[in-house]
Chains A and B, each alone.
Chain A
Amino acid sequence: MSVLVEANSRLKTGLPGSLAGTRGSAHWRRARLHWGGISPASVLLLVILAAVLAPLISPYDPFAQDIATRLKPPAWEAGGSWTHPLGTDQLGRDTYSRVVFGARVSLLVGFASVAISGVMGTLLGLLAGFFSGRVDRIVMRLVDIQLAFPRILLAVTIIAMLGPSVRNLVIVLGISAWMDYARIVRAQVLSLREKEYVLAARCVGLSDSGIMFRHILPNALSSAIIVASVSVASNIIIESSLSFLGLGVGANAITWGTMLADARNYIEVQSWLATFPGLAIMLVVLAVNLLGDWLRDILDPRLRR
């Protein structure tokens, strides 16, 4: 829900100080837009690459246990060595390899669940805004009910029914986050459907669905994309916190959240165990957030002067 306010403010007010408010030349403004997108995008690309190529770039099997070398500190600390650059966990598994493999679940869950909720919410918002009246009231009531219903209960239920797996976690996060899209797309559609070109399309005799999908949807899409950029970041955090609680993808998958949960028992002495997965989450979420800021700057027509 706060995602909605955030996206709304991104849409309405943008961040004029960084762009519209400066006296800098058009050239600088463009350069800034350019680099503002390229740097986080390249970080994200690097992480995606690492996730895809995980078996090639990790020195160890992330599941391979070696009790003899358990709880080794990172290479630069006393007692560490470069055979395990980021150390090992309580079962002697290589932390670096596990962090690399952990990227797979985080990214997959973050992006796939957003795809589900984005399509669901955008369609419902489109219907609610276009037909208004009874359809609108029903959809908005559903939005409120889903918003007031604790996501964690849905997560436990679905995981209890279908079993813990990456796919099921994607389903949980996907079906419980459509509300922001519905609200923001609905608001956009309400104003778009009064536009002259919609009237024109109607006069030409275009059907409702033709108008909705050909003329209104493309114009409402940019706000949905902004919501999506915010929710990728929050879904990655939610995935890791669910895994942290043991509600995530099960024991067979490596995720940064489960690594943190394991690390909790060792924080008194082996505090590095909690450091690396946390840093990994932060790096990805930071890149997604910065990319989202950049997207907003690009997509907000008020800033495109």
Chain B
Amino acid sequence: MAGFLARRLFDLLITVLGVSTLTFAVLRMTGDPVDFMLPPEATQQMVAEMRHQLGLDVPLPVQYVRFLVGAARGDLGESFHYREPALRLVASAIGPTLSLAAVSIGAAVAIAVPLGIVAAVYRNTMVDKAAMVLTVFGQSVPFFWLGIILVIAFAVNRNWLPTSGYGSPAHFVLPTITLAAFALARIARLTRSGMLDVLGQDYMRTARAKGLREAVIIGRHGLRNAAIPILTMIGLHFGVLMGGAVVTETIFAWPGLGRLIITSIYLRDYPVVQAGVLYMALVFVVINSALDMSYWLIDPTIRRE
């Protein structure tokens, strides 16, 4: 077990290091940030001073080592554009992104899992067919278009909800629907197909023969056996949303991570992008490990291996 964990931790480190290195390299191929910061009539000397100030005048390998050493110490540099620590900028964007991700995934799961179960239990009835038609549409709607349509329907024409910004619970409604629709459709379909597979198993008949209540049969014997792919799907969607939903945040002017990273990419604000991507890589790695752990908790056969 200890060997497994050590190996796992090593893999995680390699992943995070790999992502940071790739980001470092890729960013430096996009162009010189100084071009974006100085007016076109800037003199050679001004450019040179600026490059020195930003630490861009040393050779790339030195820059890379400085970046790594700083990152190991928790110092990811200062934003070229905002002149603030990059880490602080990223940290302040995590709140809005995290809350939107949590609300969206929470809403999607709260609807999708019961819907999937009901569709599987009452398969080939009208309920099932309606659920499947709805979810196949939900899977196919381009989410950013859904966002625009929602804005037209509820905010522009009727003025019921705010179209953009962040703050009150009302601000959450439209972005949440935009983000939850796709996840909801995916999770509901997966729950249905997983449950259908489980419902035909012998142990379900046994549970029924034992005279267990239907809720226990479906919940403890059914759902638990179908849980792993469903949890994986939920975890992956959550991970993607935690990294910031660039398009949705843009449509609704949400002050989240996706928007911060994309504007920083445009401005060639290396430290902010590096900090943001590093955070995203960590989230990815943590969620993957949490998923692995949850398999271990749910499925005793995995524990025995």
Please give the residue numbers on chain A whose beta carbons come within 8 Å of chain B beta carbons, in ascending order: 1-2, 5-6, 8-10, 12-18, 21-22, 141-142, 144-145, 147-150, 152-154, 156-157, 160-161, 233, 237, 240-241, 244-245, 260, 263-264, 267-268, 271, 274-275, 277-278, 281-282, 285-286, 289-290, 293
The one of A1, A5, A160, A267 in contact with B151, judged by C-beta atoms closer than 8 angstroms, is A267
Chain A residue at minimal CB-CB distance from B278: A148
- Chain A residues contacting B30 (CB-CB under 8 Å) are 156-157, 160-161
Beyond known contacts A141-B15, A145-B14: 7 more, CB 8 A cutoff? A16-B200, A144-B18, A153-B26, A153-B273, A154-B26, A156-B30, A274-B145
Instruction: Check B281 against A233 for contact (C-beta < 8 Å).
Output: no
Residues facing A in B274-290 (CB within 8 A) are 277, 280-281, 284-285, 288
Inter-chain CA distance A33–B29, complex, in Å, is 49
CB distance from B301 to the nearest CB of A (A): 15
Q: Which of B80-88, B210-218, B229-237 contacts A (4 or more CB under 8 A)?
A: B229-237
Chain B residue at minimal CB-CB distance from A278: B145
6 residue pairs bridging A and B, Cβ less than 8 Å apart: A1-B239, A14-B193, A17-B123, A156-B262, A271-B156, A290-B136
Instruction: Check A150 against B280 for contact (C-beta < 8 Å).
Output: yes
Chain A residue at minimal CB-CB distance from B268: A160
B261 interfacial by beta-carbon distance below 8 Å: yes
- Chain A residues contacting B247 (CB-CB under 8 Å) are 241, 244-245
**B: contact size bracket:** 35 or more
CB distance from A135 to the nearest CB of B (A): 15
Give the interface centre of A6, A150, A240 by most chain B CB atoms within 10 Å.
A150
CB distance from B260 to the nearest CB of A (A): 12
CB distance from A287 to the nearest CB of B (A): 9
B265 interfacial by beta-carbon distance below 8 Å: yes
The one of B23, B142, B152 in contact with A267, judged by C-beta atoms closer than 8 angstroms, is B152
- Chain B residues contacting A157 (CB-CB under 8 Å) are 26-27, 29-30
B140 interfacial by beta-carbon distance below 8 Å: yes
Instruction: Check B140 against A285 for contact (C-beta < 8 Å).
Output: yes
Question: 8 tightest A-B contacts by CB?
Answer: A278-B145, A145-B18, A17-B123, A286-B140, A148-B284, A13-B197, A285-B140, A148-B281
Given contacts A2-B236, A260-B144, A285-B142, contact A21 B26 (CB under 8 A): no
CB distance from A133 to the nearest CB of B (A): 14
Instruction: Check A149 against B23 for contact (C-beta < 8 Å).
Output: yes
Instruction: Check A153 against B29 for contact (C-beta < 8 Å).
Output: no
CB distance from A180 to the nearest CB of B (A): 11
Given contacts A144-B15, A286-B136, contact A9 B193 (CB under 8 A): yes
Given contacts A2-B237, A17-B123, contact A150 B140 (CB under 8 A): no
CB distance from B156 to the nearest CB of A (A): 5
B137 interfacial by beta-carbon distance below 8 Å: yes
Inter-chain CA distance A281–B144, complex, in Å, is 11
The one of B23, B137, B192, B229 in contact with A8, judged by C-beta atoms closer than 8 angstroms, is B229
- Chain A residues contacting B190 (CB-CB under 8 Å) are 5-6, 9
Instruction: Check A21 against B136 for contact (C-beta < 8 Å).
Output: no
Instruction: Check B246 against A245 for contact (C-beta < 8 Å).
Output: yes
- Chain B residues contacting A13 (CB-CB under 8 Å) are 193-194, 196-197, 229
- Chain A residues contacting B27 (CB-CB under 8 Å) are 153, 157
